[in-house]
Amino acid sequence: MLTKKQYELLVFINHRLNEAGVSPSFDEMKDALGLRSKSGIHRLITGLEERGFVRRLPHRARALEVLRVPSSLGKSEASAETTSNKSLAPNVIKADFKNSNHRAASAPAVELPIFGRIAAGTPIEALRDHTASVEVPIFLLDKGEHYALEVDGDSMVEAGIHDGDTAIIQRTDIAENGSIVVALVDNEEVTLKRLRRRGQSVALEPANAAYETRICGPDQVKVQGRLVGLMRKY
């Protein structure tokens, strides 16, 4: 699910790409959303990237690609909405969000197994609990098999992943550089971190300055899944 600000930014970027063929600058995004600093835009783009809505194109300035938009909003609709109100005033967002509870309740859902809380010291297969499951809206899922994990701790909080969140994981043993993955380390410890390959080394990066990046050898880390969605209770 997208936050209101993530949605506003996605609509704005999508419109600018359709209109000008180039993504807006960080300053333009900051002004459009009424934010005080560009750090907030960085966080919003990271959140959109992790949820599979946008992609940063490497080695190019102002290079963002919109991969998909929410099911309730086609690309043509997104362009029309932002054209009619480039300032992204609240009335534009209300049209999308005022019936969000109704749509969420009626959206198709599937039941996924909850493997447990993702915590150090436990191989992912040992977390399997056939008695626990959660209903997940189908739009959060990608292709293939999925499972759910309860997030334990705050090591990824700056990526918008909080203690107690339910992480939706696509089962896979491969992942692109920069993806947030479930990584099994030395066949005995499982963790949710951002994956970075650096030459012959593999870095598992937290999203919290209080934690250190862990550097491992290529044979120490096995990818067991890729984060594709998050669910949170308030």
Catalytic residues: 155, 193
DSSP state of 44: H
How far is it, in rounded angstroms, from Cα 115 to Cα 113?
6
* CA–CA separation, 78 and 12 (whole Å): 8
CA–CA distance from 28 to each of 16, 35, 37 (Å)? 10, 10, 11
Between strands 146-151 and 109-118, the pairing is parallel
Residue 58 CB coordination number (10 Å): 8
Reported in sequence order, the residue ranges of 94-200 that DSSP labels E, i.e. its strands, are 109-118, 133-137, 146-151, 166-170, 180-185, 189-198
Q: How many CB atoms lie within 10 A of CB 10?
A: 24
User: What gap in Å lies between CA 58 and CA 55, rounded to an integer?
Assistant: 9
